[in-house]
Amino acid sequence: MHDGPVGLALDYAREQAPRDVRDCLDWLVEGEFALAGERGGPDESAANVQLTFERSQLTVQITRDRGQWMMNIDPGHGKFVPLHILLTAWDGTVPAIRARNPVEQLPEVLPEGVAWRTVAPAIIAWLESGNRDREIGEAGAAWTRAWKKR
In a domain, 88, yes or no: yes
B/e letters for 86-98, b = 16+ CB within 10 Å, e = fewer, are: bbbbbeeeebeee
What are the tens digits of pLDDT across the range 5-37? 458 899 999 999 999 999 999 999 999 999 999
In a domain, 56, yes or no: yes
Question: With 60 as the cut, is the pLDDT of residue 3 above it?
Answer: no
In a domain, 1, yes or no: no
What are the tens digits of pLDDT across the range 87-103? 999 999 889 888 888 88
Residue 51 DSSP class: E
Question: With 80 as the cut, is the pLDDT of residue 2 above it?
Answer: no
Q: What domain count does the chain have?
A: 1
* Residue 121 structural domain: 8-149
